[in-house]
Structure 1
């Protein structure tokens, strides 16, 4: 991804060329601070900050279906799958009662994204969801979403077990963070991704490429644009595809990573003893 104030040249699209530009940007942004601190404790300077951080054999903690590793000759990558543990926290009694009281609702939440200040995102989202004949579960998040009236077709949540909730919704409207995208995909929920920053446009594109939802065009939805996206996400074909893809997502990424780590530690102990 590009850093603020350091956009990639629009004419450069080759992934390897962008990778080299990324290394240059990271050196420029963080090299002086890292090497200044290293020098203060007697360590030699690091020539390539990114390669120093990533290492020669990095682990890629993403799902291979959602994020297939395209390969680079100088990186020996181990893709483990996403590091997500089962969440056994129960949904609240009130939320369960809401879910049981009607057809599966649409979840809308943007996690740690504050969203665009000039737009009443809750108003836009709820009106778009209602236009599709659906109820809504609204997650407050950093955007501080709230209900817009006292109708009984909407329910607001704070911290919630997304694994349990997403298994019971018709679609998930979200910002496109890796964790939320992976959780929604594993649950078999179709998605509308409204990306805001960083890696979120990438995950929005992957949702669209997999045909398990829609990548919203731009970070600021309107009632009309979000309603149109929801119409596609709620279509039978999209929901069926989301269900099919869910069965291909790894659930053992954290276990695989922990097992590999313990094996590496064990090998190190054996080598020292030898």
Structure 2
């Protein structure tokens, strides 16, 4: 059997599909993956013996600026991506038995699967991305801010915005390959039985009429890489530091500096992860150490707390390590949702970046660094599953066997 996996985004979007791909390979399935052409993704897949089919521009280039592209630029990127997907996906899906797409950006995936007569699965990494009366849609950059507060109304407006962006190009391509038009693009992409690749303790789905969500657990792999010698020396030289990192996001320039100052005020050492924003040390003091890309699974078990932007992967890794968290979410995608989950579960604190103050930072760190918070974080970490990718791979294979 052969399966095509597809996503577009940063490492947090690609790595879960890599985990699913590895588990599928262990079951004897051949895997191809459509992903951005960034060199780090190509190297990652090549090291696992997988074929990368590049789609769209490199993500790092899109994230290079200090601010997001304008609404007009984002609209153009999105339309161009639909055209690119219809150019690339049919060839990538040739000979495949199934196509698994992760993320709303995969507008063409279901249509290509339909035209090829192959099984299609849509996957989300966070419950907040799926329509529900229990939460509002996630922030979508470049689209109008809704003038409503009721969750169901907000989801209706969200569907209208998705249609306004994608209905015309999608249905134009569908007509060209002999398929009927769709009148609700978002729900067409999602299907009425989406998969939720999130831990049921950390990010549970609440049953919603009309949507039969299959929650598999989060998709990840064990990371056995050792920590760099210089980092180990720093860790061994004193008490556990507080980690500060924002991954592929670019926070306001002063957020990292203010976080370091607040951590020092609590008497803790600091680890600064450079990330895509290329964060650096505030000064030359020996209580602060800068790192590049390292094994977070090993590192987070040795820190006092983790300060981050609210990415699904970082939130999960810190939670599994039993590390308290301080989340400073950018108003993007699922970042505010994961910040809220950390606060609701009492395993740390959540801050609003635009209204960040010295006082709120100090309160957040006092909360996260308290013995009570650490005890709750450790207790929750012991409950989190690690088999999500294997569960999903087995379910997909079972579905394909039944169809055959």
**What pairs with 1:240-255 in structure 2 (closer than 5 Å)?**
240-255=375-390
- In structure 2, the residue matched to 1:13 is 150
Distance 1:242 1:113 in 2: 25
- In structure 2, the residue matched to 1:141 is 275
- In structure 2, the residue matched to 1:259 is 394
Q: Which has the higher contact order (CA 8 A, sep 6+)?
A: 1
Residue 143 of structure 2 contacts residue 161 of structure 2 at CA under 8 Å; is this kept in 1? no
Within the candidate set 86, 89, 94, 2:230 is matched to: 94
- In structure 1, the residue matched to 2:16 is none
Within the candidate set 125, 135, 147, 2:259 is matched to: 125
Distance 1:223 1:55 in 2: 45
Tell me the TM-score normalised to structure 1 length.
0.91
- In structure 2, the residue matched to 1:62 is 198
Distance apart, 1:115 and its partner CA: 1.1
SS in 1 for 2:302: coil
Within the candidate set 278, 301, 316, 1:182 is matched to: 316
Distance apart, 1:231 and its partner CA: 1.0
Distance apart, 1:219 and its partner CA: 4.1
What per-residue deviation string (whole Å, max 9, x for no partner) do you get for residues 33-71 of structure 1? Answer: 111122222322112111211112111111111222112
For the pair 1:49 / 2:185, whether they are aligned, the reply is yes
Aligned residues: 265
Distance 1:47 1:230 in 2: 48
What per-residue deviation string (whole Å, max 9, x for no partner) do you get for residues 66-107 of structure 1? Answer: 222112111111101111111111111111111111111100
Distance 1:58 1:37 in 2: 23
SS in 1 for 2:326: strand
What per-residue deviation string (whole Å, max 9, x for no partner) do you get for residues 199-218 of structure 1? Answer: 11111111000000101133
Within the candidate set 216, 219, 224, 1:80 is matched to: 216
**What pairs with 1:228-239 in structure 2 (closer than 5 Å)?**
228-239=363-374
- In structure 1, the residue matched to 2:158 is 22
Cα 1:219–1:189 shift into 2, 3 Å: farther
Distance 1:132 1:219 in 2: 23
- In structure 2, the residue matched to 1:272 is none
Cα 1:145–1:167 shift into 2, 3 Å: same
Tell me the TM-score normalised to structure 2 length.
0.63
Distance 1:219 1:195 in 2: 10
SS in 2 for 1:238: helix
Distance 2:355 2:270 in 1: 19
- In structure 2, the residue matched to 1:195 is 329
Q: CA RMSD in A?
A: 1.6
SS in 2 for 1:167: helix
**What pairs with 1:102-117 in structure 2 (closer than 5 Å)?**
102-116=238-252
Distance apart, 1:268 and its partner CA: 2.3
What per-residue deviation string (whole Å, max 9, x for no partner) do you get for residues 207-250 of structure 1? Answer: 00000010113346444432221111001111111111111111
